[in-house]
Chain A
Amino acid sequence: MSISPLMISASSLVNALGVGKEATLQALQTEKSGLRRCDLAEVDFPTWIGRVAGLESQPLQGKWQPFDCRNNRLTKLALQTDGFDDAVDKARQRYGSQRIGVFLGTSTSGIAQTEQAYRQRDAVSGSLPEEFDLLHTHNIYSLVEFTQRYLGLEGVGLSISTACSSSAKVFAAAARHIQAGWCDAAVVGGVDSLCMTTLYGFNSLELVSAEPCRPWDAKRDGINIGEAAGFALLEPADDTAEVLLEGYGESSDAYHMSTPHPEGEGAALAMRQALKRAGLERSEIGYINLHGTATPSNDAAEDKAVEKVFGCTTPCSSTKGWTGHTLGAAGISEAIIAMLVLQHGFLPANLNLQQKDPALAINVLQKSESREVRHVVSNSFGFGGSNCSLVFGKRK
């Protein structure tokens, strides 16, 4: 079933490239990566990370104190960025606080707070520190509750946590809730922050690179973990619309918990459904923002999937070389990058690509290009075989 047209009327983005969409756009255009050598004292293996500067010194205070954790600090920073909170405030006056839903993705929410609490266990009883508030920090829903209260919204809400597809799938959930009539507009987005669980977890699976990540490169050897927060305001399209959510596709691999289907079957299914919902032919897609994590198996599977659906001519790139893999925030981050592509007629290169893997077939951009495109796709795939593809378009 096709979706009723929804426009993205406001958005915000914070990641290793800086605070605000302009910082990301400039970095993309000047090919300046936000990755840095891992400078976290607790990490004892070599890697690069996409860290947001300054979160350590921005605690949530006053009535927001119970929510204080790295993830919710990042949430608040992004809500205050790019005029997003003001845009929601105006929407709230139009629609009413009960009629704007909140749908956010995260993979680990505020788990860093629990990691810290374990370091502070009582030597005798083993209990966690009294001030540790699990429900308002670590719980997967904590960022939605914080966002609802911060924006003064009282309507429908839920968190989606499907690993690295989380904040792509929020667009689908929001579109469904709007179409079914549970809300008139929606705040969608995602937030994930650096923690030892993901750094050591991905390292245990031998999926972390000691160097800046190199998607589609012959010598790619893993991911760099990053952190990010992004938001978008979805409303029924009107005359002011610039960028539209045109389609979404979701699927499951049904193959393995941490390895994608080698032929990319699930991923291809998600892309086909997104195209179908958008009512577009594959030739109408001008750019694909790849999930492109830079692990050998992920890129190989996505390459096959994209080739199956689009062939080998559509311009593609992974932007993980700029931001790192922001996990549960990757979907919203790359959705917003896809919107920047539509608005600025600029296709970003696949950063850090030195020698393309000869086994990979699709048209990965070695250099950035100035080119107007009308429709773009953004891919997000996660552990557990969770796939989501989104189609965004520019108003005719």
Chain B
Amino acid sequence: MKAVYLQGIGIAAPGLFGWPAARRVLLGETAWQDEALAKLVPQLLPPNERRRTTALIKLALQVAEEAVTMAGTEAAQANTVFASSDGDFYIVDRLCDALLQEGKPVSPTLFHNSVHNAPAGYWAIAAASQNPSTSISAADATFSAGLLESVSQLATNGSNVLLVAYDHPAPFPLDEKRHFVAPFGVALLLAARADDSTLAEMELHLPVENDQILSRCSDGSMEALRQGNPAAASLPLLEAVARRQNCSIGLPYVAGNLLEVKIRA
């Protein structure tokens, strides 16, 4: 395939809040601390809209904003791919609970926030963007599937693509059925052409070449996080970008396959 270029990164996860801090951790300059993620207050969405959003929506918007800001591009100009394995468990819990009550009092706001593309809808309003947007899932392979869709868009359409991957732990009792160790959000602003601010060149391969195996975090203490949230599958890729390494990364993909990402810093 034709290479794509990484122009901006956003990240929000325990001990990895914002790319500058995350980069130092991934470089091994500072030790990773498994500390709770602070409350997020994304800035682009007007306060009256932000009031209606959930923790999952804020997580997606926060990292999207950071990636766009870092790339120095107009938020409205990027096509978007929102990738989440399970969507908003908090809303599912509230909806299913309401359906058990007398008269099944589902809240209208809760219902329109329940669609998988709710973060994408709020982002379009925040960024004032009428550009194409999609919202996907591929369970534990969601990050890779989002990356493939993003590069497919770049190959067939000139616009930059903002990939936003995010999942948030479920409340009880859903947490007993699908457990994520922590919230994790990551956004990559991808372009078809390189410029002075390009962070890395990426080339995807499917099926993988040679003996590419699933990549892990160099810091073993972060492995539980990588395996404990579908969006955190991105960590080995982010580590390679932070370290400006020329290397190949194996990411989990669907149907038992791996997706290979060749990175040139």
Q: A residues engaging B (CB < 8 A)?
A: 1, 3, 44, 98, 107, 111, 114-115, 117-119, 121, 126-128, 132-135, 138-142, 144-145, 148, 153-163, 169, 173, 175-177, 179-182, 196-197, 200-205, 250-258, 265-266, 269, 382-386
Within the assembled complex, what's the spacing in Å between the Cα atoms of A209 and B192? 47
A-B complex: 5 closest residue pairs judged by Cβ atoms: A384-B121, A201-B111, A161-B116, A250-B132, A140-B137
User: Given A201-B112, A254-B130, 8 more contacts at CB 8 Å?
Assistant: A1-B156, A118-B96, A154-B257, A180-B156, A203-B106, A251-B132, A265-B130, A383-B117
Chain B residue, CB-CB nearest to A255: B125
Q: Are B118 and A252 in contact (CB under 8 A)?
A: no
Q: Which of B8-16, B63-71, B170-178 contacts A (4 or more CB under 8 A)?
A: B170-178
Q: Which residues of B contact A160 (CB under 8 A)?
A: 134-136
State whether A252 and B130 are in contact (beta carbons under 8 Å apart), knowing that A158-B149, A162-B117, A204-B108 are contacts in the complex. yes
Q: Are B157 and A162 in contact (CB under 8 A)?
A: no
Smallest Cβ distance from A9 to chain B, in angstroms? 21
Q: B residues engaging A (CB < 8 A)?
A: 1, 52, 85-87, 92, 95-100, 103-108, 111-118, 120-122, 124-125, 127-139, 142, 145, 148-149, 151-153, 155-158, 172-174, 176-178, 206-207, 254-257
Q: Are B134 and A162 in contact (CB under 8 A)?
A: yes
Within the assembled complex, what's the spacing in Å between the Cα atoms of A44 and B136? 33
Q: Are B87 and A173 in contact (CB under 8 A)?
A: no
Q: Which residues of A contact B115 (CB under 8 A)?
A: 107, 161-163, 382-384
Q: Which residues of A contact B98 (CB under 8 A)?
A: 200
Partner of A141, one of B85, B106, B118: B85
Q: Are B177 and A128 in contact (CB under 8 A)?
A: yes
Q: Are A197 and B114 in contact (CB under 8 A)?
A: yes
Q: Which residues of A contact B125 (CB under 8 A)?
A: 254-257, 385
Within the assembled complex, what's the spacing in Å between the Cα atoms of A157 and B105? 36
Q: Are A107 and B138 in contact (CB under 8 A)?
A: no
Chain B residue, CB-CB nearest to A196: B99
Q: Which residues of A contact B130 (CB under 8 A)?
A: 251-254, 265-266, 269
Chain A residue, CB-CB nearest to B112: A258
Q: Which residues of A contact B127 (CB under 8 A)?
A: 254
Q: Which residues of B contact A139 (CB under 8 A)?
A: 85-86, 137, 139, 178
Smallest Cβ distance from A272 to chain B, in angstroms? 11
Partner of A204, one of B111, B132, B138, B206: B111
Q: Are A180 and B173 in contact (CB under 8 A)?
A: no
Within the assembled complex, what's the spacing in Å between the Cα atoms of A154 and B87? 25
Chain A residue, CB-CB nearest to B2: A180
Chain B residue, CB-CB nearest to A118: B96
**Residue in A176, A181, A257 whose Cβ sees the most chain B Cβ within 10 Å:** A257
Q: Are A154 and B145 in contact (CB under 8 A)?
A: no
Q: Which residues of A contact B158 (CB under 8 A)?
A: 1
Smallest Cβ distance from B12 to chain A, in angstroms? 22
State whether A115 and B112 are in contact (beta carbons under 8 Å apart), knowing that A162-B120, A163-B117, A254-B128 are contacts in the complex. no
Q: Are A148 and B254 in contact (CB under 8 A)?
A: yes
State whether A252 and B135 are in contact (beta carbons under 8 Å apart), knowing that A148-B254, A197-B114, A383-B121 are contacts in the complex. no
Q: Which residues of B contact A133 (CB under 8 A)?
A: 177
Q: Which residues of B contact A111 (CB under 8 A)?
A: 92
